[in-house]
Amino acid sequence: MLLWINGPFGGGKTQTAHELRRRLPGSVICDPEHAGFGLHRMLPPGLRGDFQDLESWRRGVVEVLDLALTRHQGVVIAPMTVTEPRYFAETVGRLRELGHDVRHVALLADRETVLERLRERSPMRVLRYVAGKDAGPHRESWAVRRLDHCLERLREPEFAEHLWTDHLTVPQTADRIAAAAGLTPRPHTDGPLRTRLRQAGVSLRHIRLD
């Protein structure tokens, strides 16, 4: 089974994916974004647009996930924002055509909720988050500029199932996704501090410097 976790940038896909991997024995994360980063690094900076526009990315994601789903015995988790209907059909749709059990969910939230999450995932905010301190003013970024477009597109029926996460913690979001897929994750037993530290660690590991 493939759990494809969609949603706006900063919507909680990566944190939810790691929570599911931690609590679903035998599950793995296969992040399509890594393939996109690799393709970007092959190009001169001036030619680096949206890597999803590259057919090689879409074909490569299907090839790699097809291999993982065919050879790996556990659940495969793919956290990836896709809002273009044609690209969605060429990735999620194509994997379904190949006979795989693909469960797609789009994590949605109000604009202000997502903006706060984007603030929290910045490098300095992560360090402040661990210390329990507030962050400074939010800086505009590519993710923010794309936010309204993502939220509008992902509300469309073709991107269902939709899961509104404004009032859900990451463990609760993972529980909802697992239940919808008929999976039973291990119970979430960590306290607030340990949960905070683990999520901060996930954020730090996913900071990009290029």
Per-residue pLDDT tens for 88-115? 999 999 999 999 999 999 999 999 999 9
Long-range CB pairs of 191-198 (<8 Å, 24+ gap) are 195/170, 195/171, 196/129, 196/130, 197/130
What number is the average pLDDT over the span 22-41?
96
Q: Hey, what CATH class is 2-205 in?
A: alpha beta
State which amino acid sits at residue 19: E
Q: How far is CA 81 from CA 3, 11, 13, 189, 192, in A?
A: 13, 9, 8, 29, 28
Question: Residue 204: pLDDT above 90?
Answer: no
Contact 100, 26 (CB under 8 A): no
Question: Residue 87: pLDDT above 50?
Answer: yes
Instruction: Give per-residue pLDDT as tens, 128-171.
Output: 444 454 444 344 477 888 899 999 999 999 999 999 999 999 99
| β-pair partners for 188 | none
Token output for 154: 């992902």
Question: Residue 61: pLDDT above 60?
Answer: yes
Question: Residue 172: pLDDT above 70?
Answer: yes
What number is the average pLDDT over the span 36-46?
95
pLDDT reported for residue 137: 37
Lowest mean pLDDT among 33-47, 79-93, 186-200: 186-200
